Structure 1
Amino acid sequence: MATINELKCAIKDKLESRGVLGQLKARIRAEVFSALEDHKEPGPPLSHENLIINQLILEYLEFNNYRYAASVLSAESGQPKVPLDRQFLANELRVSEDSSSKAVPLLYGLVSHFWNSNDKGGKVFLCGSSLPATTTSNPTLGPEY
């Protein structure tokens, strides 16, 4: 007769081999965040920049069937329940799309654009965020990181 520990190990191994254990853990996390969201005070409003970035990430997660990761991000970030329209995102990012690019998340198109850029040796100049800079303290990294 198998012991309780052997049974637990066998079930865990079976769930891992079927790829279910990770999904279960992610689902539990998502439900915990959702439950906490019901009882906490509303967070600060999302900036326009964060709203766009979160939606790009959510589109990528959902395309790749990372539904639980997407639900955790939605719950933690306070992203609106109704997703932003893809055409709105493309307009905000000043992106033009063809029919084939519309079949994949915008992040894929953005990465592809930079990988296939004709400027093979140059660097892209990035401007700072429109968000105000914040300073935080981290004992392992120093007073500001």
Structure 2
Amino acid sequence: MATVAELKAVLKDTLEKRGALGQIKARIRAEVFNALDDQSVPRPALSHENLLINELIREYLDYNKYKYTASVLTSEAGQPEVPLDREFLAKELNIVEDTSGKSVPLLYGVLSHFLRGGKAESTQNTLPSVSLLNYPEQNLGKLPAERN
């Protein structure tokens, strides 16, 4: 017969392997933040630049399934609940995308552009069609230890 300590260890190990333990911890952190957040303290006005930066980050978080982190960002920053349209965001940032870049967040393309030294493929701010980044789409659903 297994002891309570052994059952706890097996349960913890199982939850970690499934990725559920990390999600539970993230959910608890988000709930604690929401409980402690003092809504009576006014937030500073959200500048246009911060709005755009937060949207780039939110798109990245959503793509990587960091929903609790995205929820905390939206709440804490005073970001609109409805995300900005991707085409609007690209237009505001003067980014021209090719079709292959539309499957990943804009932030990946921006990072790839600067990893290449910021050299444009043309006179426009075109994000590269072939990136230096290893996009994580093949990593979705894998545990962190299994990811590239």
Is the TM value for this pair above 0.5?
A: yes
Match of 2:113 in 1: 113
1:98 aligns with 2:80: no
- Does the aligned pair in 2 maintain the 1:30–1:75 contact within 8 Å? no
Query: Alpha carbons of 1:107 and 1:94: their partners in 2 closer, same or farther (altered >3 Å)?
Result: same
Match of 1:5 in 2: 5
1:31 aligns with 2:31: yes
1:73 aligns with 2:105: no
1:3-58 superposed Cα distances (whole Å, 9 cap, x missing partner)? 43333222212111211100111111122223344744331121211111111011
Query: Alpha carbons of 1:68 and 1:118: their partners in 2 closer, same or farther (altered >3 Å)?
Result: closer
Q: Secondary structure at the match of 1:100?
A: helix
Shift of 1:99: 1.6
Shift of 1:79: 1.2
Shift of 1:92: 1.8
Instruction: Report the residue type matching 2:28 in the other structure.
Output: I
| Residues in 2 aligned to 1:113 and 1:39: alpha-carbon distance in whole angstroms | 39
CA-based RMSD: 2.1
1:22 aligns with 2:22: yes
Unaligned runs of 5+ in 1: 120-145
Instruction: Report the residue type matching 2:106 in the other structure.
Output: L
- Does the aligned pair in 2 maintain the 1:33–1:75 contact within 8 Å? no
Match of 1:44 in 2: 44
| Residues in 2 aligned to 1:88 and 1:11: alpha-carbon distance in whole angstroms | 46
| Residues in 1 aligned to 2:91 and 2:110: alpha-carbon distance in whole angstroms | 13
Shift of 1:110: 0.7
TM, length-normalised to structure 2: 0.69
Unaligned runs of 5+ in 2: 120-148
Query: Alpha carbons of 1:40 and 1:8: their partners in 2 closer, same or farther (altered >3 Å)?
Result: farther
Instruction: Report the residue type matching 2:89 in the other structure.
Output: L
User: How many positions carry a matched residue from both structures?
Assistant: 119
Query: Alpha carbons of 1:17 and 1:40: their partners in 2 closer, same or farther (altered >3 Å)?
Result: farther
- Does the aligned pair in 2 maintain the 1:56–1:107 contact within 8 Å? yes
| Residues in 2 aligned to 1:74 and 1:97: alpha-carbon distance in whole angstroms | 26
Task: Report % sequence identity.
Answer: 64
Shift of 1:103: 1.5
Runs of 4+ with >6 A deviation? none
